[in-house]
Amino acid sequence: MRLSIVIPAHNEEARIGRMLDAYLPYFEERHGAGVEFLVVVNGTTDGTESVVRGYAADHPGLRCIVEPGRIGKGGALMLGFRAAQGDLVGFVDADGSTPPPAFDDLVHGIGESGAIIASRWCRGADVSPRQPLARRIASRIFNLLVRTVFGLRLTDTQCGAKLMRREALQAVLPGLGITRWAFDVDLLFQLKRAGYAVTEIATTWHDVAGSKVQVVRTSLEMLVALVRLRLLYSPLRWVVGLYDRYIGPIMHPAEVEPDNLLRHGLLLMVGAQATNICNLLFQVVMMRMLGRAEFGVLAALWGACLTVAMPLMALTQTVSHFTARLLRTADRARVRAMLGSLAIRLVVVGLVLVGGILLARDGVGAFFKVEQQAPVVIAAVLLGFMLWRPVLDGALNGAQAFAWTVAVAMCWGVARLLLGVLFAAFGLGAAGGLLATALGLLLSIVLGTVGLHRTFGGGSIRPRHVPGFYAYLLKYVTALAGYSVLMNADVVLVKRFFDPETAGLYARASIAAKSVIFLPQPIAAAMFPKVVSGGAVSYGSWRTLLKALTLAGVIVFGFAVLCTVVAGPLLLVFSGERVPELVPVLRTLVWSLFPLTLVFLLMNFELAQRRFAVTIPLVLCALGYLGGVAVWHGSLLMVVGVLGVANLAALGATVMLVMSRSKTMVRANGREEKDP
């Protein structure tokens, strides 16, 4: 029985020689002229082709197939499959991680099955050295998705050693796609649909140095590939065709350097939603373990902290802006010097802020109708901690070290949740919830400091101020202050104008609505460092903005519709009780906040490119909102209605500003402008 082994190879000059040294003599000795090797060299920029042709001169059973374009693993395998002449056709990775005896086990174990695959997760598998924890977790999550979405009861669809009978392969080859990371799943799913049995056996697998796989990046690409593949085999396959024909060429034109917005946006969204889940669980736990009045105290003080701290996002974006610009000249030392200068100033500002609130704690407590001083004191300390996170997040975002950004945010969310449950169980009330938030924030600051060291290096350096930093910061603070009022002041205003019970109920609806509106904000974080400039709008930046608006709009609109339909059950989840009078409030609030999602993206786009006219409409709309609520607060729906009008006005004004800039867009064939 003739055997064909296909080996896809992209820039494998350093590893494929060792692999062929092991495979060629082993299989030639056992199968003689009955084995052929087909190495498909695709899109290579090194000497892989020369190495393979050198071996082919001494081994007649080895053929070298060259494809100049980079067509991915799937495309390379399909070329090899079409050229293969064996009764059994298999493939193996070029790195040699599957030793020859392990692949030969497939040949002897295929029996009557249509295909047989090697598995690193079957009982008896020998994997050495053990894969890193992150890769093992990613592998199991991916496998769970494959089992759930495609019904493939296999433990390891991604191991790079598989063997098929020729008739089985020929039956599915015409329908195979060439999706890079989902090719193996596509192949196995097609075999299952065609009625061929797939056997899985334990294998021997040795990790080989030089892997090109980056866990975070690859995991996201694999997730997108799975979604695409599932759509292809569903009644919604027209969506893929529509994307490929009309949307893909706009989102990813061949002549423009990729901005990786989708990948980075997905990474930040996954991390943000994991953090949001922790935060939502924290809110639900607090709602159920604290009384309405006590939860109203927690929500009001936390809302006040957010209202004060939201403008500190300007510090995040200012640090991100200057970090991105400095890194364009590979000036990591100046980034570290800038951060050192900021650290010194923040210590002073933090001490003044916390000390001022502590001195005025009686007045603050009276304003919020808080009888105990402990929650006010802890909130003051919490605000001091909140000064530091924006610097850490800004530096990591500016360097596009988004994995660290996600880790820092998740650290805070998980720590806050666990500590909140513990403190609530001990009866610490609102003070316990605020203390859990403060301690979780402190832990995230420690982790973020480690991330900075890993990203920018260590060593002593003289702190140095960056010219223009504080002027930029002041303008950004002004814009963000207006946005902050529109986003967060509702809970504070309701607490001011309504009784504690009503304020506590409204806080639940507000948290539920904002959990929807906050969903796409990570897209803005991913967009910001990609569109940083000295003032002009490049073609690439404009395209990135359109992509961000499309992604955010689709996400929020979909969830807003869902929230409108299931408003009652959603409130039940948050509060643990049915509150029919809040259902219309929640529905109205979701759509009143909806414009802020797009406002946030447009605001960040303008400010990333040092254009500050957007500040004026935001501040005016915020003042109009505060004045409107001061006059019209006869009911909760009235307050929400005023908010909706203010937010629509803010969206209309920012859209007109951005559109007026489009006339001066710099078309440079996708090349970003150079900063002066």
**CB-count exposure of residue 209 (10 Å: 0-12, 13-18, 19+):** exposed
Q: 3-class SS at 422?
A: helix
pLDDT (tens digit per residue) in 223-281: 777 777 887 777 877 777 776 665 666 555 555 556 566 667 667 777 777 887 888 78
Q: Residue 77 — left, alpha, or beta (φ > 0 → left; ψ -120 to 50 → alpha)?
A: alpha
β-strand pairing of 88-92 with 3-9? parallel
pLDDT (tens digit per residue) in 302-327: 877 877 776 677 888 888 888 888 88
Residues 441 and 382: beta-carbon distance below 8 Å: yes
pLDDT (mean) for 604-611: 86
Backbone angles phi and psi of 128, in degrees to 5: -145, 140
CA distance 665 to 540: 10
CA distance 342 to 333: 14
Of 196 and 308, the structure prediction assigns the larger pLDDT to: 196
Residues 447 and 411: beta-carbon distance below 8 Å: yes
The secondary structure of 193-214, three-state, reads HCCCCEEEEECEEECCCCCCCC
Distance of CA 158 to the CA centre of its chain: 23
pLDDT (tens digit per residue) in 404-463: 888 888 898 899 999 988 988 888 888 888 899 999 999 999 998 898 888 887 766 777
**If you average pLDDT over every residue of the chain, what do you get?**
83
pLDDT score at 668: 40
pLDDT score at 201: 94
- What domains appear along the chain, each with residue ranges and CATH number? 3-212 (3.90.550.10), 261-664 (no CATH)
CA distance 655 to 661: 10
Residues 297 and 374: beta-carbon distance below 8 Å: no
Q: 3-class SS at 666?
A: strand
The pTM assigned to this predicted structure is: 0.59
CA distance 114 to 164: 6
In the structure, what pLDDT confidence band is assigned to residue 102 with cuts at 50, 70 and 90? very high
Of 373 and 417, the structure prediction assigns the larger pLDDT to: 417
Task: Outline where 429-468 has alpha helix (H).
Answer: 429-456
pLDDT (mean) for 549-574: 82
In the structure, what pLDDT confidence band is assigned to residue 645 with cuts at 50, 70 and 90? very high
Residue that the structure tokens 């929650």 belong to: 375
pLDDT score at 666: 43
pLDDT score at 422: 92
Backbone angles phi and psi of 534, in degrees to 5: -90, 0
CA distance 665 to 659: 10
Distance of CA 81 to the CA centre of its chain: 36
Which structure tokens are listed for 487?
Answer: 């986003």
CA distance 382 to 370: 17
CA distance 640 to 513: 12
Task: Answer yes or no: is pLDDT of 671 > 50.
Answer: no
Most confident of 196-210, 212-226, 378-392, 585-599: 585-599
DSSP H or E segment with residue 93: none
